[in-house]
Amino acid sequence: MGEPLYNFDNVRDALRLVMDGEGLALSKRRITLSTSGVVPLMARAGEEIGVNLAVSLHAVTKEIRDEIVPINRKYGIEELLEACAAYPGASNARRITFEYVMLKDRNDSDEHARELVRLIKQHKLPAKVNLIPFNPWPGAPYECSDPARIRRFSEIIFESGISAPVRTPRGRDIDAACGQLKTAAEKKSRAELERLWAEKQAALGA
């Protein structure tokens, strides 16, 4: 869990074992490494690991991406996309995947979709875009884009010649979908637990 490029050596060594013929013997073409955009280590990942690359983009403006992906304050969108364009092995056969979570009224307008297309084409990136419906949790500061809005966003990207499938959410009903792996219940103090236990015992005695 976490940003793999901040744990580069261990991730590299683990993936080498996975790809080794004496290990799991998985082809590097079947493995994708996902990063939020640690620009200085992206080229090294391509050279020393050589797997497919996925980038958590989620926005096309500095203001919104700074909020959603704080590392953007250190490595901005232009710098990130330049690193993607230089990623070793990237080609039409091995496209870079951009992950894009759909947030209602934040990053899901037609203008955002067109800007995403413009950025990809400006940097001549062999890319596809994975559109991810936002999975809310209690108290979440965002809402998921409406299905019709997600479809329109996808259509704009597809019409430009770039693949933009919509990921099917799974596990929402038990708060186990992407981004939901946190409990909806607040941790209770020892005093609260003792009070609840006392109330339960009193109820049983009645």
Query: What domains sit in the chain, N to C, each tagged with a CATH number?
Result: 4-205 (3.20.20.70)
Which of the four pLDDT bands, split at 50, 70 and 90, describes residue 2?
A: confident
Q: What is the distance between the terminal CA atoms of the chain, rounded to a whole angstrom?
A: 48
Q: Is 69 helix (H, G, I), strand (E, B) or coil?
A: coil
How many other CB atoms are found less than 10 A from the CB of residue 106? Answer: 19
Q: At what angle do helices 39-48 and 77-85 cross, to 10 degrees?
A: 10
- CA 123 remoteness from chain centre: 21
Q: Which residue in 39, 15, 36 sits closest to 25, CA to CA?
A: 15
Instruction: Give residue 122's Cα distance to chain centre.
Output: 22
- pTM value? 0.82
- Model confidence over 124-173: pLDDT tens digits? 999 999 999 999 888 899 999 999 999 999 999 999 999 999 998 654 44
Alpha helices in the chain (DSSP H): 8-19, 39-48, 62-68, 77-85, 110-122, 147-159, 190-205
Mean pLDDT, rounded, of the chain: 89
Of residues 77, 82, 79, 99, the one with CA closest to residue 33: 99
Q: Which residues pair with 99 in a beta bridge?
A: 56, 130
Partners of 128 in beta bridges: 97
Distance, C-alpha 90 to centroid of its chain: 19
pLDDT digits (tens, 9 = 90+) for 3-36: 999 999 999 999 999 999 999 999 999 999 999 9
